[in-house]
Amino acid sequence: MRIAVEGCAHGELELIYDAIAEAERFDGRKVDLLLCCGDFQATRNSKDLTCMAVPNKYKDIGTFYKYYSGEKVAPILTIFIGGNHEASNYLQELAYGGWVAPNIYYLGYAGVVTVGGLRIAGLSGIYKSHDYMRGHHEYPPYNDRTIRSAYHIRNLEIFRLKQLSGRIDMFMTHDWPLGITDFGNVKALLRKKSFLKRDIDNNVLGSPPGMELLKLHYPSHWFAAHLHCKFEAKVTKINDTKHTKFLALDKCLPRRNFLEIIDVEHDKSIPIELCYDLEWLTILFLTNHLLSIKTTMCYMPGPVQQGRWVFAPTEEEKNRIHNKFSYNLTIPLNFKESVEPYNPEMGNRHVSQPNLVLNEQTTEFCNKLAIDDPFALLKLANGIADESELNCSSVSFLTSTPSKQSFSHTDLSCSTEDDEAVNFIIDTSPSYTLRPIKSLKLPAAKNDSTMSISDSFNSDIEIKTDASKSSSSVEIKGDHTAVDVEVTVEPNCKKLKRRNQSIYTDAECIT
């Protein structure tokens, strides 16, 4: 298979496809696949431009909108990951990947697919330690902080990628794995990019989780971009024959090394079409309860905790997921326009940021796999959607009592007619859900029948009492979903003072 690898696209799709066409004319051989390593800039219109974390002078609409609108069709199957210069609102709609335009596929926050039998993995975004352990809490319209943190990688995706087993042919990241310069010609690199010397000397150039993944899986090829230069390296596993060829490429500009074409052996009996990876689908299903939409730190399972902490799927678990997809892993061609594309005659008008919207591709995928769409959870948690908008998995996780329970396979599915029941032990307490509030005994008070408590989780708890009843409804607002629970409270309670707040706060109420 002939594969073109491109560094930072920066919205210049026409130039990239033209360069590939020129290479095909030069040697008479067709390119089968294009891989883009971030800063793709899938901007459909002026509203998408407002969701890019770049100075205004760099907010150029580019040429992607032509492929989105159907004015042009991508001549080559194209797979890309996100970088740090993206229309984050559009890419966040496709958290688990999807078609951004006909024949152009985004891998999601992290993803694994197969093409012609080759296994391709990818991780979108760049590493920033202060956001690494947070949940996916960002959504449009963004503020000055979330417009940047939206493209920072999270420990959930790294944890999921670490569960993979078997051969990985190609791995794509935007930033470089930490320490990769130790395995290539660093002197030649510094002649081109002398300002990198300080970061290299301090061992802070690149992504620590990226190198962890490289040394865990040793994929045959690792492609990256971000630093706008070409750099090659080879990492060999000690006392083993495994090695990884690393290649970073430049951005799409004249006389720059932004494109390279490689030949990779593959099973010619398998058609060159995009397919889901069965193991990755199963990992997404098994780790769905780890998804968080909180701004606070989220920890992944480990050996010191009770319950399952290794989610490498068994054959039985993979077969169950295979059955849910009717034993057909071909990715459906279900792209639909969801917004009006850019009109050159109108120019880049001054517009406001868009609001949070759900993407039909993600909804369809989540319903089929019975997992949660982060955007759907954010809509519900922030009071901008009702349960009818969400897939069944989202509703069940947000409304059920979080605890370790035994569910049948069919209990976690939207369609149960053809599935044979098999029990899985699933921790159904995702970090963003609420535990039932225990019965509180509050002292008698006079006057106000409504009191407000601000707890240590930055949520507003409003307890409304009925003087004729002994039970009350409690509503928790803010970063969490509103729920009703029973609280024993005497009528006519007065507003609590802040110094007494800790007495009535139950740390077990919220996870």
Question: Which among 51-55, 407-411, 418-422 has the top mean pLDDT?
Answer: 51-55
Give the mean pLDDT of 104-132: 98
Q: What's the one-letter identity of residue 245?
A: K
Closest among 417, 31, 508, 5 to 222, alpha carbons compared: 5
* 41 in a structural domain: yes
Residue of 159 and 418 predicted with greater confidence: 159
- Tell me, what's the pLDDT at 350? 79
Q: Are 361 and 374 in contact (CB under 8 A)?
A: no
- Tell me, what's the pLDDT at 301? 95
Q: Is the pTM of this model over 0.75?
A: yes
As a whole number of angstroms, the distance between CA 449 and CA 457 comes to 24
- Domain boundary (228, 250, 277) is at 277
* 245 in a structural domain: yes
**Percentage of the chain lying above the pLDDT 70 cut:** 75
Residue of 447 and 406 predicted with greater confidence: 447
In degrees, rounded to 5, the angle at the alpha carbon of residue 300 between the alpha carbons of residues 297 and 305 is: 115
Domain that holds residue 489: 450-504
Q: Are 143 and 149 in contact (CB under 8 A)?
A: no
CATH number of the domain residue 144 falls in: 3.60.21
* 300 in a structural domain: no
Give the mean pLDDT of 99-106: 98
- Tell me, what's the pLDDT at 387? 52
Residue 346 binned pLDDT confidence (cut-offs 50, 70, 90): confident
* 424 in a structural domain: no
Give the mean pLDDT of 339-349: 85
Residue of 391 and 509 predicted with greater confidence: 391
Give the H or E element holding residue 423: strand 423-427
User: Which residues are 123's β-sheet partners?
Assistant: 110, 173
- Tell me, what's the pLDDT at 363? 97
SS3 state at 505: coil
Query: Both tokens of residue 444?
Result: 């008698």
Residue 161 DSSP class = H
As a whole number of angstroms, the distance between CA 19 and CA 163 comes to 37
- Domain boundary (229, 248, 277) is at 277
* 49 in a structural domain: yes
Give the H or E element holding residue 213: helix 208-217
Count other Cβ atoms within 10 Å, centred on residue 202. 8
As a whole number of angstroms, the distance between CA 191 and CA 196 comes to 10
Give the mean pLDDT of 357-362: 97
CB under 8 Å, gap of 24 or more: what pairs does 391-396 form? 391/363, 391/366, 391/367, 392/367, 393/288, 393/366, 393/367, 394/366
Please name the residue that has the structure tokens 């997809």.
Answer: 325
- Tell me, what's the pLDDT at 116? 95
- Tell me, what's the pLDDT at 239? 87
Closest among 218, 250, 249 to 234, alpha carbons compared: 218
- Domain boundary (250, 277, 304) is at 277
Please name the residue that has the structure tokens 């503020």.
Answer: 143
> 127-140, pLDDT tens digit by residue?
999 999 999 999 99
Give the mean pLDDT of 60-81: 97
Count other Cβ atoms within 10 Å, centred on residue 314. 10
Mean pLDDT of the chain, nearest integer: 82
- Tell me, what's the pLDDT at 305? 79
For the chain, what is the domain count?
2
Q: Is the pLDDT assigned to residue 245 strictly greater than 70?
A: yes
Give the mean pLDDT of 335-363: 91
For the chain, what's the residue count?
A: 511
- Tell me, what's the pLDDT at 299? 95
Give the mean pLDDT of 155-159: 98
> 462-501, pLDDT tens digit by residue?
434 444 444 434 343 333 333 333 333 334 444 444 444 4
- Tell me, what's the pLDDT at 388? 53
Residue 39 binned pLDDT confidence (cut-offs 50, 70, 90): very high
* 225 in a structural domain: yes
* 272 in a structural domain: yes
In degrees, rounded to 5, the angle at the alpha carbon of residue 294 between the alpha carbons of residues 289 and 297 is: 90
β-strand pairing of 231-236 with 471-477 = unpaired
* 401 in a structural domain: no
Q: Are 511 and 429 in contact (CB under 8 A)?
A: yes
> 361-413, pLDDT tens digit by residue?
999 999 999 999 999 999 999 888 655 555 444 444 443 333 333 322 223 33
Least confident span in 5-19, 313-327, 482-496? 482-496
- Tell me, what's the pLDDT at 7? 98
**Percentage of the chain lying above the pLDDT 90 cut:** 70
- Tell me, what's the pLDDT at 230? 98
Give the mean pLDDT of 424-429: 33
User: Which residues are 106's β-sheet partners?
Assistant: 80, 98
- Tell me, what's the pLDDT at 389? 54
Q: Is the pLDDT assigned to residue 454 strictly greater than 80?
A: no
Give the mean pLDDT of 197-208: 97
Count other Cβ atoms within 10 Å, centred on residue 489. 24
